[in-house]
């Protein structure tokens, strides 16, 4: 290629890939649709590749576009991380991006984040709530709260402790349906679980043979939705024991037959250890989560 394509061209291509149309990408980027179209055409010309084909439902990515996607996503993450680092020079200020699971992000982190912002008003926090493990090495997040031990050597990781999971139900549900006294009794109850098979579901079914997808009355792959369903009295489901203690109407069932321990870790890239923007939130997260796990 005569000249190396600018990041702006890749950004437009990635947005079209994510949104499925030029108009959608233009809205997401805050640009005019013809400008996005010119960016894609310029990138195709520079790379010598066809990236999209038109269809009745929008733009369909070609195999070449899909092959380039992870590299463009890495560039996007790096560009965002660069901007977060640039705006933070001079103290605990700027933006820190924290990745955590839905339940941890919605139920545990808010008071920690509130205290952080009260103490450091110049700090902005982005919370990425997902059960997908975001890659710290690719700078998709600055700090990650993980329920499994990080295995990358380039990460600074601190073990918080063990978070125990157990079966729980609302008190009113149990008054109406009865308390299961043995695992076989679960067959008589409304069970809340995952729609898609997960490693956790496979591990749980080894402890409770009846804990499987076709036995679930309500299925959702959202841990946060499962927790809400348990609190609403929709049936018996799995949630963190420490969280259930916050709700007096939640009762743990079959504690001697089912317990699932998860290790909690907080991790960030070791290159950020001297960045006040990241180090201060990292320490605050560790302290707050240790109280939760205690």
Helix (H/G/I), strand (E/B), else coil: 199: helix
DSSP-assigned beta bridge partners for residue 267 = 144, 157
Pair (177, 245) in one structural domain: yes
pLDDT for the residue numbered 108: 95
Query: Within 13 Å of residue 195, how many CA atoms lie on the same side as its CB?
Result: 8
Helix (H/G/I), strand (E/B), else coil: 46: helix
What are the DSSP E strand ranges found in the chain? 52-55, 58-61, 94-100, 123-129, 143-146, 155-170, 192-193, 218-219, 237-240, 250-253, 260-269
Pair (100, 28) in one structural domain: no
Q: Is the pLDDT of residue 170 over 80?
A: yes
Band of pLDDT at residue 135, cut at 50, 70 and 90: low
Band of pLDDT at residue 90, cut at 50, 70 and 90: low
In this structure, the dihedral spanned by the alpha carbons of residues 135, 140, 145 and 148, taken in order and rounded to 10 degrees, is -10
Predicted confidence (pLDDT) per residue in 205-231, tens digit? 777 878 889 999 999 999 999 999 999
CA distances from 233 to 169, 189, 226, 227, 243 (A): 7, 12, 11, 10, 16
pLDDT for the residue numbered 137: 62
Pair (174, 253) in one structural domain: yes
Pair (237, 221) in one structural domain: yes
Pair (72, 100) in one structural domain: no
Instruction: Decide: 84 and 142 in contact? Cβ < 8 Å.
Output: yes
In sequence order, the 6+-apart residues with CB closer than 8 A to the CB of 105 are: 127, 128, 129, 145
C-alpha–C-alpha distance, residues 288 and 273, integer Å: 19
Band of pLDDT at residue 2, cut at 50, 70 and 90: low
Pair (191, 59) in one structural domain: no
Backbone angles phi, psi at 150, to 5 degrees: -65, 140
Query: How large is the average pLDDT for residues 165-175?
Result: 97
On average, the pLDDT of the chain sits at: 88
Residue 236: DSSP 8-state: B
pLDDT for the residue numbered 152: 72
Q: Tally the domains of the chain.
A: 3
Secondary structure of the chain: what % helix, strand, coil (to 5)? 45, 20, 30
Pair (187, 68) in one structural domain: no
Determine the structural domain holding residue 59 and report its residue range.
Answer: 7-76
Q: Does residue 104 lie in a domain region? A: yes
Q: What is the pTM of this model?
A: 0.68
Longest dimension (CA), the chain: 74
pLDDT for the residue numbered 285: 95
Query: How large is the average pLDDT for residues 121-140?
Result: 79
pLDDT for the residue numbered 205: 76
C-alpha–C-alpha distance, residues 268 and 99, integer Å: 10
Pair (113, 202) in one structural domain: no
Q: How far is CA 155 from the centre of its chain?
A: 18
Predicted confidence (pLDDT) per residue in 255-292, tens digit? 999 999 999 999 988 888 888 888 999 999 999 999 99
Sign of CA dihedral 13, 19, 24, 26: negative
Query: Within 13 Å of residue 209, how many CA atoms lie on the same side as its CB?
Result: 3
Q: Does residue 188 lie in a domain region? A: yes
CATH number assigned to the domain comprising residue 48: 1.10.10.10
């Amino acid at each position: 290629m005569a000249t190396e394509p600018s990041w702006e061209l890749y950004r437009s291509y990635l947005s079209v890939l994510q949104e499925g149309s030029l108009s959608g990408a233009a809205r997401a980027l805050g640009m005019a649709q013809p400008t996005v179209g010119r960016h894609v055409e310029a990138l195709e010309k520079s790379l010598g590749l066809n990236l999209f084909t038109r269809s009745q439902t929008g733009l369909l990515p070609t195999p070449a576009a899909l092959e380039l996607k992870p590299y463009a996503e890495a560039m996007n993450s790096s560009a965002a991380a660069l901007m977060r680092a640039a705006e933070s020079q001079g103290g605990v200020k700027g933006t820190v991006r924290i990745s955590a699971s839905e339940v941890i992000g919605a139920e545990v982190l808010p008071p920690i984040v509130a205290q952080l912002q009260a103490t450091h008003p110049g700090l902005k926090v982005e919370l990425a709530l997902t059960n997908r493990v975001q890659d710290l090495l690719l700078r998709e997040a600055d700090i990650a709260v993980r329920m499994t031990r990080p295995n990358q050597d380039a990460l600074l990781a601190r073990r918080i402790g063990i978070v125990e999971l157990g079966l729980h139900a609302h008190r009113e549900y149990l008054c109406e349906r009865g308390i299961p006294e043995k695992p076989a009794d679960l067959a008589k109850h409304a069970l809340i679980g995952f729609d898609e098979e997960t490693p956790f579901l496979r591990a749980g079914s080894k402890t409770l043979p009846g804990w499987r997808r076709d036995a679930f009355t309500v299925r959702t792959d959202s841990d946060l939705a499962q927790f809400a369903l348990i609190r609403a009295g929709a049936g018996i489901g799995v949630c963190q024991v420490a969280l259930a203690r916050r709700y007096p109407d939640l009762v743990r069932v079959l504690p001697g037959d089912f317990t699932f321990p998860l290790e909690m870790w907080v991790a960030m890239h070791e290159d950020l250890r001297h960045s006040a923007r990241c180090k201060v939130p990292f320490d605050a997260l560790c302290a707050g989560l240790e109280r939760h796990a205690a």
